[in-house]
């Protein structure tokens, strides 16, 4: 007769407790290595280089402090026994001082500290290694502009100084958001534009430096960087427990302790004195569990019913999800414990926003990678949205589909861990309904690039995987942008998987977001549900990208409203300039706007058979405007009848 799951759980607990007792016994009987004892002493010392005092974790140097007391990437060279230099992303920085909290340093670019360093026309822009460092809140940018081509008149309004050695003119500005100005991209094409981090206070003290000496003075003060939050958090926890921070051969964090032991996180100073007490307590627990186990076996073998409270009850949703994971086989993503999720998010400290079915928090893995952690709410149905996400996105690998790093499943605690997208979702860059919005709007070329990237991601989901994936919730909110504004499709909670040979799928319910749902999804009289349903949602989104507003309602006066595709279609027929988002400046931009509008209108055709495939959409976006024809006017509109278009209203 098979033992119920309670027996397996009790056996597992008994085995774990036995292992713990064995470990404690081993720790008490065996002496710690001399290496660990030496590391505790070595890592407690501080060192100095020139005027820099109290050099400690995570900094280290081959000549004065071992790597076991620091971290890879934080090596300091004490040059000429007086200049502490650290390399970050291939660039040398001089360490000017260490913050009072020990959680960061003030540094300055070594090349710019040299004589005439600011006059080097080959000066390059650099960035930090964000897995190790973050810019402190005290930092702002000084923009230096070199080697401008003839005719670059836009730089004439900027401050400048002339270099003595080569007579070169260097332009500069302390305007913090200079790169967001309209002329900045033009200057970047004609000049070498370099942004140098400096202290905000140094600019505030001298807001209008008028020459090379003043600019050099600002640069020589350096700027402050903080160590990564994960690194700082672990070291603080270790030191609070009386330990010394360090690392092992694989650069994993270690906490060296006074009792000559090392731990992954914190020390337990009293464990030597209390091990015998723990052993007694655990022994008693093991004996009790042994007795309970014996009783359960006797009851089961004699068909005696046990009270339900003896058994760990799982909900149907839990069982369905665990069953799915077992049946799915080996997943190519990591399964985290909920304690791991709390640690990587620092107990859900920074909320990024709200996604489908849950809140999203910023986190950082132990290797320094930033992630976005979606903490799912109580699941509806049988945890379908969780299964959809893990089953669909774990099958993908494409530059325009967000990467699932891992997941957590502990009872009703469910979380999904994604790669971090620093620019957030597309929606905040395209809607201009809020006059106080400060998010910079995107250029037309960038909008076209984003539209093509999303199309390529959908083409991959529809035809590039062994199993076809239908998303069913394509909208700006679910398109994430990385630091380079590369779009990535996210939020697969409503996705469905089907065989590639299947053209039409069956669904028991409508799914999607109002305004983006294809007509056949909520009414089968319009046709079968297929990958063309995603094409419809994509088309609506493209029209929103051009129009800079929601697709259902467009205010044409204080009192009237009109269905957006009808509005835009009428302007297209009338030949009105399509400067919908933030105005069209050039003929090239007008061509991009018209092309995106035509593609969007083709994609939202009421009959799914009239919509192009995503492969055809990509060809249309890459082709010429002359090759595109105006599609039939989509006759479907919201249940609320739109008012007639006002001839006096301009799209501009």
Examine the domain organization and report whether 530 and 450 are in the same domain. yes
**Residue 638 domain flag:** no
Q: Give the 3-state DSSP-derived string for 557-580, with helices as H, strands as E and coil as C.
A: CCCCEECHHHHHHHHHHHCCCCCC
**Residue 645 domain flag:** no
Query: Which of 232, 233, 257, 231 has its CA nearest to residue 243?
Result: 257
Examine the domain organization and report whether 510 and 450 are in the same domain. yes
Q: Which of residues 310, 331, 366 is at a domain's end?
A: 310
* Euclidean distance between CA atoms 297 and 526, whole angstroms: 61
pLDDT at 561: 42
Examine the domain organization and report whether 302 and 335 are in the same domain. no
Examine the domain organization and report whether 321 and 306 are in the same domain. no
Q: Quote the percentage of the chain above a pLDDT of 90.
A: 25
**Residue 189 domain flag:** yes
**Residue 282 domain flag:** yes
Examine the domain organization and report whether 481 and 619 are in the same domain. yes
Asked whether the predicted pLDDT for residue 638 surpasses 70, the reply is no
pLDDT at 344: 95
pLDDT band at residue 281 under the 50/70/90 scheme: low
pLDDT at 128: 83
CATH code of 336's domain: 3.30.200.20
pLDDT at 526: 82
Examine the domain organization and report whether 52 and 26 are in the same domain. no
Q: Are strands 370-376 and 358-364 parallel, antiparallel or unpaired?
A: antiparallel
**Residue 633 domain flag:** no
Examine the domain organization and report whether 407 and 493 are in the same domain. no
Examine the domain organization and report whether 394 and 503 are in the same domain. no
Q: Is 644 exposed, middle or buried (0-12, 13-18, 19+ CB in 10 A)?
A: exposed
pLDDT at 282: 57
pLDDT tens for each residue of 394-404 = 778 889 999 98
Q: Which of residues 373, 395, 419 is at a domain's end?
A: 419
DSSP 575-603: T-----SS---SHHHHHHHHHHHHHHHHH
Peptide bond into 330 cis (omega under 30): no
Q: Is 302 exposed, middle or buried (0-12, 13-18, 19+ CB in 10 A)?
A: exposed
pLDDT at 646: 31
CATH code of 540's domain: 1.10.510.10
Instruction: Write down the residue that tokens 């040979």 correspond to.
Output: 501
Regarding pTM above 0.75, the answer is: no
Name the β-bridge partners of 223: 107
Asked whether the predicted pLDDT for residue 493 surpasses 50, the reply is yes
Q: What is the mean pLDDT of the chain?
A: 77
pLDDT at 339: 92
What is the extent of the structural domain holding 15? 5-30+273-310
- Catalytic residue (choose from 318, 320, 473, 534): 473
Q: What are phi and psi of 83, to 5 degrees?
A: -120, 105
Number of domains composing the chain: 4
**Residue 640 domain flag:** no
* Euclidean distance between CA atoms 562 and 571, whole angstroms: 13
Examine the domain organization and report whether 174 and 210 are in the same domain. yes
Examine the domain organization and report whether 45 and 149 are in the same domain. yes
Q: Which of residues 310, 330, 357 is at a domain's end?
A: 310
The answer to whether 473 is a known catalytic residue is yes
Examine the domain organization and report whether 458 and 378 are in the same domain. no
Q: Which of 297-311, 529-543, 621-635 has the lowest mean pLDDT?
A: 297-311
**Residue 220 domain flag:** yes
pLDDT tens for each residue of 291-346 = 666 665 555 555 544 444 433 445 555 665 665 555 544 456 788 999 999 999 99
Q: What is the mean pLDDT of residues 15-42?
A: 54
Whether 374 has a binding-site annotation, put simply, is yes
**Residue 232 domain flag:** yes
Higher pLDDT, 211 or 19: 211
Examine the domain organization and report whether 56 and 126 are in the same domain. yes
């Amino acid at each position: 007769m098979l033992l119920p799951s309670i027996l397996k759980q009790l056996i597992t607990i008994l085995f774990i407790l036995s292992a713990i007792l064995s470990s404690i016994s081993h720790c008490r009987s065996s002496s710690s290595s001399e290496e660990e004892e030496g590391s505790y002493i070595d890592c407690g010392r501080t060192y100095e280089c020139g005027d820099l005092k109290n050099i400690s974790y995570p900094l280290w140097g081959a000549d004065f402090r071992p790597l076991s007391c620091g971290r890879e990437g934080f090596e300091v060279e004490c040059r000429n026994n007086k200049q502490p230099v650290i390399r970050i992303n291939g660039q040398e920085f001089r360490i000017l001082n260490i913050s009072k909290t020990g959680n960061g340093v003030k540094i300055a670019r070594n090349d710019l500290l040299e004589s005439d360093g600011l006059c080097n026309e080959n000066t390059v822009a650099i960035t930090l290694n964000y897995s190790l460092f973050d810019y402190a809140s005290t930092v702002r940018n000084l923009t230096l502009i070199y080697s401008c081509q003839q005719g670059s008149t836009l730089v004439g309004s900027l401050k400048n100084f002339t270099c003595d050695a080569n007579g070169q003119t260097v332009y500069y500005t302390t305007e913090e958001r200079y790169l967001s100005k309209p002329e900045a991209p033009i200057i970047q094409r004609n000049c070498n534009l370099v942004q140098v981090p400096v202290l905000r206070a140094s600019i505030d003290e001298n807001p209008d430096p008028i020459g090379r000496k003043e600019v050099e003075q600002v640069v020589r003060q350096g700027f402050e960087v903080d160590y990564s939050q994960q690194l700082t958090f672990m070291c603080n926890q270790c030191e609070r427990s009386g330990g010394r921070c360090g690392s092992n051969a694989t650069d994993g964090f270690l906490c060296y302790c006074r009792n000559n032991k090392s731990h992954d996180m914190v020390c337990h100073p009293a464990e030597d004195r209390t091990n015998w007490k723990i052993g007694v307590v655990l022994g008693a627990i093991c004996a009790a569990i042994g007795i309970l186990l014996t009783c359960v076996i006797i009851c089961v073998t004699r068909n005696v019913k046990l009270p339900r409270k003896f058994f760990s009850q799982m909900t149907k949703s839990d069982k369905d999800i665990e069953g799915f994971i077992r049946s799915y086989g080996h997943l190519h993503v990591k399964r985290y414990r909920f304690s791991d999720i709390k640690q990587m998010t620092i107990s859900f400290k920074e909320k990024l926003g709200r996604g489908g079915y849950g809140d999203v928090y910023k986190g950082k893995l132990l290797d320094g990678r930033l992630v976005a952690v979606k903490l799912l709410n109580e699941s509806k149905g049988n945890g379908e949205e969780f299964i959809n996400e893990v089953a669909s996105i774990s099958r993908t690998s494409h530059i325009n589909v967000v990467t699932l790093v891992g997941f957590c499943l502990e009872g009703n605690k469910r979380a999904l861990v994604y790669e971090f997208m620093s620019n957030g979702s597309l929606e905040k860059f395209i809607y201009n309904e809020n006059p106080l919005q400060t998010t910079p709007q995107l250029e037309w070329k960038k909008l076209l690039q984003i539209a093509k990237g999303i199309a390529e991601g959908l083409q991959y989901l529809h035809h590039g995987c062994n199993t076809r994936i239908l998303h069913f919730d394509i909208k700006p909110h679910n398109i994430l942008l990385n630091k380079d504004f590369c779009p990535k499709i996210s939020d697969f909670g409503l996705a469905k998987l089907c065989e590639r040979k299947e053209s039409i799928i069956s669904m028991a319910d409508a799914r999607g977001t109002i305004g983006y749902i294809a007509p056949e999804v909520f009414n089968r009289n319009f046709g079968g549900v297929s990958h063309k349903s995603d094409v419809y949602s994509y088309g609506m989104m493209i029209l929103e990208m051009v129009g800079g507003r929601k697709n259902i309602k467009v205010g044409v006066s204080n009192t009237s409203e009109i269905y957006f595709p009808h509005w835009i279609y009428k302007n297209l027929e009338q030949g009105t300039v399509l400067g919908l988002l933030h105005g069209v400046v050039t003929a090239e931009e007008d061509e991009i706007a018209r092309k995106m509008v035509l593609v969007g209108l083709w994609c939202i055709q009421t009959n799914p058979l009239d919509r192009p495939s995503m492969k055809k959409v990509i060809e249309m976006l890459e082709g010429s405007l002359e090759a595109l024809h105006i599609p039939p006017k989509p006759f479907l509109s919201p249940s609320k009848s739109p008012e007639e278009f006002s001839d006096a209203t301009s799209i501009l």
